[in-house]
């Protein structure tokens, strides 16, 4: 029996294009009329101050979409950069609206992703405004671990992130020096182990969860769309 493809599947297969690590896919204020789908690799969405200080707002992972368009419907409200070699599909607003009208499952899944993204940002904002460096780092490690493990029902303690301590600092509101010191403390305490190029092993889930002030199972239900 032949497999039937939806219009969305057809666009994803037809319009993929590869981008190299470090490629700026969209700059703040640049013209923007499409949504990005990540078929492979990681992207970072960020905002910058005039002095060059950057805050990473979100990491966009494979299987996720992101629309950088501001409410004016014309320009991007942030910058999107490829953190590693990636494969991207750009879907213009008219096609996206048609896809959502024609595909109830896609419409439902995108709404769930939006809610999950809002929940993640709420958790991070709480810690950015009120928590210590250890709590911020611990939370982000757990969040990223949950997100890269989302295809299963468990919590894969070993994972990789395609960025360094500078980007982790830009995501948690900390300097790279502060991030380095915090990771060293967590390593020495036996809570995590970090390897070259940001390979991460969570050795003590309970201790890391206590530092992050989260219940891992409850957080998974809150910030992912396919939690068990």
Could you tell me the CATH number of the domain that includes residue 54? Answer: 2.60.120.10
- Looking at residue 154, its pLDDT comes to 54
Q: Are 56 and 138 within one domain?
A: no
Domain extent for 159? 131-223
Task: Looking at the structure, tell me whether residues 85 and 140 fall in a common domain.
Answer: no
DSSP per residue, 44-60: EEEEE-TTS-EEEEEEE
In a domain, 68, yes or no: yes
Domain boundary among the residues 59, 79, 100 is at: 100
Do residue 95 and residue 156 come from a single domain? no
Q: What is the mean pLDDT of residues 29-53?
A: 96
Q: Residue 206 domain-assigned? A: yes
Residue 31 falls inside a structural domain: yes
Single out the residue in 100, 121, 155 at which a domain terminates. Answer: 100
Task: Check residue 225 and give its pLDDT.
Answer: 80
Strands of the 54-60 sheet, one edge to the other: 24-26, 79-82, 43-48, 54-60
Number of C-beta neighbours around residue 3 at 10 A: 5
107: in domain: no
Q: Are 147 and 218 part of one and the same domain?
A: yes
**Which pair of structure tokens corresponds to residue 217?**
């199972």
Last residue of a domain, one of 77, 100, 123: 100
Pair 137, 216 in one domain: yes
Q: What is the pLDDT of residues 166-182, one digit of tens each?
A: 999 999 999 999 999 99
- pLDDT-above-90 percentage for the chain: 84
Segment 31-47 shows an average pLDDT of 97
Residue 1 pLDDT class (50, 70, 90 cuts): very low
Higher-pLDDT residue of 152, 109: 109
Number of H helices and number of E strands within the chain? 8, 11
pLDDT value at 95 more than 80: yes
Q: 203 and 151, same structural domain?
A: yes
148 and 214 in a single domain? The answer is yes
- By the 8 A CB rule, do 118 and 225 touch? no
State the pLDDT at residue 126: 97
Residue 159 lies in a domain: yes
Q: Are residues 27 and 90 in the same domain?
A: yes
Regarding whether 74 and 156 lie in a shared domain, the answer is: no
Instruction: Provide the mean pLDDT of the chain.
Output: 92
Rounded to whole angstroms, the Cα distance separating 68 from 79 reads: 8
Assess if residue 21 is contained within a domain. yes
Domain count, the chain: 2
Q: Are residues 92 and 146 in the same domain?
A: no
Question: For position 218, which CATH number holds?
Answer: 1.10.10.10
What Rg do the C-alpha atoms of the chain give, in angstroms? Answer: 18
Whether 160 and 83 share a structural domain: no
Examine residue 125 and state whether it is found in any structural domain, yes or no.
Answer: no
Alpha helical stretches, state H, 6-92: 7-14
């Amino acid at each position: 029996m032949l497999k039937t493809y939806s219009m969305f599947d057809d666009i994803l297969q037809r319009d993929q294009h590869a981008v190299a690590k470090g490629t700026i896919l969209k700059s703040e204020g640049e013209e923007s009329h499409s949504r990005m789908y990540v078929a492979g690799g990681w992207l970072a969405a960020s905002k910058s101050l005039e002095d060059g200080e950057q805050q990473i707002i979100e990491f966009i992972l494979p299987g996720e979409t992101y629309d950088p368009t501001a409410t004016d419907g014309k320009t991007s409200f942030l910058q999107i950069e490829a953190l590693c070699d990636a494969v991207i599909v750009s879907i213009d607003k008219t096609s996206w609206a048609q896809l959502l009208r024609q595909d109830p499952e896609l419409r439902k899944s995108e709404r769930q992703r939006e809610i999950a993204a809002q929940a993640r940002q709420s958790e991070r904002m709480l810690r950015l405004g009120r928590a210590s460096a250890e709590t911020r780092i611990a939370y982000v490690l757990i969040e990223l671990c949950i997100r890269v493990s989302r295809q299963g029902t468990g919590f894969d303690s070993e994972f990789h992130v395609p960025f360094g301590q500078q980007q982790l600092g830009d995501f948690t509101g900390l300097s790279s020096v502060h991030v380095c010191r915090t990771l060293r403390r967590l390593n020495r305490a036996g809570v995590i182990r970090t390897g070259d190029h940001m390979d991460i092993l969570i050795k003590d889930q309970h201790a890391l969860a206590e530092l992050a002030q989260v219940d891992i199972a409850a957080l998974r239900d809150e910030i992912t769309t396919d939690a068990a």
